[in-house]
Structure 1
Amino acid sequence: MAHDLQEVLQKSFVETNGDPRQTIRAVCAWDFEQVRQDPATILQLATLVLARDHRGAMKMLRQAYAAYDEAGIQAYQAILARWGATLRAPFTAELMAVTLTALVEGLAIRHLADPEAVPNHLFGNAVIALIGSVVDTGQNHEHIDDVITPLADEIMLTYEVARIDSLPEDPRSAIIAAARAEFAARGYFATTLAHISIRAGVPLSVLKQLFPSKALIVVKALRPQFDELRSKIDDDLALLVAPAVIVKRHLGRLASFAVCNQDFVEAFLMLVAHETATSPEIAVEVRRELDLPSVMTPAIKLGQEHGVFVSTIEAYELSAALTNSLLLRCFTRRDDDAATHAEFIHATCLHGLLSRTNHATPM
């Protein structure tokens, strides 16, 4: 099927002079006819209804759908590459394949029962509508919700005045929770204060009074956990815990901080990196409020003074290297847990700081 679909796609590109609308309609017409006439369409429905508890039958059904999806993935990736486009989150080529496979099969089955309700061109028109929403030709890393942002904003303006009288009981917490959800769905840069306002149920004017910028939301969201990290280090220092032990404990806490606050920590890293070049004053303020390397610095400095850490590099710079390495690993290996992240950095990075028994050579 994959080979046939690719051939139909290529032929359609030529016959329609590259017009994406006609290409999609031609491919969809072919696909709809294939599914409508394929005896397997009814067989698969019967299997799902009558043999859902039969492991062998369901395994074969899943394999069949996987083959359909793979054919679709190859076709959609080819189309996107030709158009120089991407898909709006949360859609991927895989999710598109599943969606369109389910859509064409559902329409084909409905057509068999009620042809007048499902004309042959309906699938093509539905895909055109879906593609128009899902495909991002500007490669702006947009979210599917952005398609109706103008409509949503207009509707929300209608309720702006009324909402002032029905604010959430704790608007700050509502805003922070909404920001977390929006950053997770769109990413930090694609999220606007208006997006957060709508999700939080807080008028934009009120939100700006509480949080004039996205950066401030990130700072306020992470500040309590940041203060806790510093407090625990201070306790360890006061209790005369060995510097190497303090650093190892802190790496574990920092990894948990990053994993549990993934969306905000990622936003923090991105805004610091970006704002350093575009708005240095914001970057300086954020770094001052959330100076993560400074938390571990006293322990490393103490270790240097006692000969536990042999590096002569400034303690803050060493702390920054360990902190940045750990945070980077948390966001490039998202399937690992916090303990794994911390242990890896401890084993590979911190080991180079430890004094050797027989020869302590300055780094």
Structure 2
Amino acid sequence: MNTVTGSVMVGATSVMSVPMNELDASATHFVEAAVTLLVANPRRILERGVRIEDVVHASDSSTATFFRKFSTKADFLDTVVEHLSRTPLPTDVHETVRTHVTDSGASIRTTVTALVAQYFPAIVDRTSTTESLLDHVFSGPSSPTLASNYRARDQAVLDAFEALFDPDGGAFRRPFTARSFAVTVNAIIDGFRIRSQVDAASVSADVMSDAVLAFLGAVVDTSGHHQHLDDVMGEVGVPVEDRPLPRDPRAAIVTAARDEFGKRGYFMTRMDDVADIAGVPRAACKTLFPTKPSVIVAALQNRVDRLRESVADDQLLGLDELAILRHHMLRCAQLASDEIEFMDALLVAVAHDTYGEPEGLISIKEKLNLPAIIAPVIARGQDSGIFRKSSSPVDLAAGITNTLLMRCFTRRQNSPQDNANFVAELLLDGLGAH
């Protein structure tokens, strides 16, 4: 605690000695008096500190009573800071929102407007806002109480979101997630709250509800199309057909497809969108790449060819079959890491029976046949007695490849080396203890 001219300032860090919920009425009265003084004239407190005699006078009590309740000034000020952190946790948010949804006839705009109007006076209340700001200053950036309060507020926003969009459902446009959505909504509320204290005329319930609705409209997708945030800007800008044709249209299309696969996934990516982003006329794009699988093949063909050449080189160098498989697994894991977007799309395209693109799927299975690269190696290992002959080389090669890729897809946080070693130990060494 800092002292100024015999007064005690509220410190930034402190340890509670008496929990607020254990204070009696007299002690609570002292604390509330101190908070009232802080809120009423923060500048005076900055100049003179929190004077105990002022607190006693405001409480209409005595110094003797004060020190019977608090052994030291520091204990008292710790309790004052803890009082500032009191934020009632939201309750029955879901039920409250659902009631408004029902009353509004399921209108999102009417519901949000009614909710903001209901809570607006409390949001911009000068006393509670000042207490909140003082809490941020005095408690410090690492305050567990502040962090807990924000988590509770974020959860309240998510509860409101769930109630607002039931039963039709709504998804967040990427890259927004539930967490970033809740944080942003609370940031919007906090911004209006602070602005209202210095410019009340510019902050109204209508302005706040319009801001929240605009954010919901941009971030929440109710179409079921798994959209990206970029989609809301789709109509803005110069038509891409007016741009000059890229010097290398094929490369431009592959680059655009990588971005779209990464944002939307395989099924929701449209080749027309890829063409527009690449700056290639749609008809020309369809000529170069008739289907999505054809783009995947173009993007991965060279990498798969290098895998095949690397296995051939290992054989020329005289490596045994086990070493060749281990090397191949590491190279495949590195490919999955380097080409996440296209490898994800490859997995989906092969795993699902896409009737509309039979030629594309045939092309993928022929040109990007990863198991076929190691099937001959496994066959030689079976002939030499290194590998069991209980299954065909083709089935074993497919099992090894699928297991490795699934490991890479589900353990992206691991390095390619770690994923390759895990699968190699599991499939080549087995589960038995040696």
TM-score by length of 2: 0.71
Counterpart of 2:418? 340
RMSD between aligned residues? 2.9
Total equivalences in the alignment: 346
Give the superposition deviation at 1:250: 0.9
Does the 8 Å contact 1:310/1:353 carry over to 2?
Answer: no
With over 3 angstroms needed to count, the CA separation of the structure-2 counterparts of 1:2 and 1:346, relative to structure 1, is farther
Does the 8 Å contact 2:294/2:363 carry over to 1?
Answer: no
Q: Aligned runs of 1:141-156 on 2, under 5 Å?
A: 141-149=226-234, 151-152=235-236, 155-156=237-238
**In the aligned structure 2, how far is the partner of 1:108 from the partner of 1:280?**
58
With over 3 angstroms needed to count, the CA separation of the structure-2 counterparts of 1:211 and 1:281, relative to structure 1, is closer
**In the aligned structure 1, how far is the partner of 2:366 from the partner of 2:422?**
28
With over 3 angstroms needed to count, the CA separation of the structure-2 counterparts of 1:147 and 1:239, relative to structure 1, is same
**In the aligned structure 2, how far is the partner of 1:303 from the partner of 1:110?**
74
**In the aligned structure 2, how far is the partner of 1:266 from the partner of 1:111?**
48
**In the aligned structure 2, how far is the partner of 1:91 from the partner of 1:142?**
11
**In the aligned structure 1, how far is the partner of 2:421 from the partner of 2:119?**
51
With over 3 angstroms needed to count, the CA separation of the structure-2 counterparts of 1:259 and 1:80, relative to structure 1, is farther
Counterpart of 2:20? none
Counterpart of 2:218? 133
Counterpart of 1:121? 206
Moved more, 332-341 or 132-141: 132-141
SS at match of 1:349: helix
With over 3 angstroms needed to count, the CA separation of the structure-2 counterparts of 1:344 and 1:210, relative to structure 1, is same
Moved more, 102-111 or 79-88: 79-88
Q: Aligned runs of 1:1-363 on 2, under 5 Å?
A: 1-37=89-125, 39=127, 41-42=129-130, 55-56=141-142, 61-149=146-234, 151-152=235-236, 155-157=237-239, 159-161=240-242, 163-164=243-244, 167-352=245-430
Moved more, 18-27 or 100-109: 18-27
Does the 8 Å contact 1:156/1:198 carry over to 2?
Answer: no
Does the 8 Å contact 2:255/2:278 carry over to 1?
Answer: yes
With over 3 angstroms needed to count, the CA separation of the structure-2 counterparts of 1:23 and 1:302, relative to structure 1, is same
Q: Alignment identity in percent?
A: 35
**1:193 maps to amino acid:** M
Does the 8 Å contact 1:85/1:135 carry over to 2?
Answer: yes
Greater RCO structure (CA 8 Å; 6+ sep): 1
**In the aligned structure 1, how far is the partner of 2:141 from the partner of 2:229?**
36
Q: Deviations over 1:225-263 (max 9, x none)?
A: 111111110111112211011111111111111111111
- Give structure 1 stretches of 5+ with no counterpart: 358-363
Give the superposition deviation at 1:55: 4.9
Give the superposition deviation at 1:69: 1.2
With over 3 angstroms needed to count, the CA separation of the structure-2 counterparts of 1:312 and 1:103, relative to structure 1, is same
Q: Deviations over 1:195-253 (max 9, x none)?
A: 22333344434433433332222111111111111111011111221101111111111
**In the aligned structure 2, how far is the partner of 1:156 from the partner of 1:268?**
33
**In the aligned structure 2, how far is the partner of 1:208 from the partner of 1:264?**
19
Does the 8 Å contact 2:101/2:164 carry over to 1?
Answer: no
Give the superposition deviation at 1:276: 4.4
**In the aligned structure 2, how far is the partner of 1:41 from the partner of 1:260?**
49
Counterpart of 1:360? none
**2:150 maps to amino acid:** Y
Moved more, 290-299 or 189-198: 189-198
Does the 8 Å contact 1:88/1:136 carry over to 2?
Answer: yes
Does the 8 Å contact 1:21/1:128 carry over to 2?
Answer: yes
- Higher-Rg structure is 2
Give the superposition deviation at 1:288: 0.7
TM-score by length of 1: 0.84
- Give structure 2 stretches of 5+ with no counterpart: 1-88
Moved more, 296-305 or 325-334: 325-334
Moved more, 221-230 or 109-118: 109-118
**In the aligned structure 2, how far is the partner of 1:33 from the partner of 1:331?**
49
Give the superposition deviation at 1:47: 7.4
**1:227 maps to amino acid:** D
Does the 8 Å contact 1:90/1:144 carry over to 2?
Answer: yes
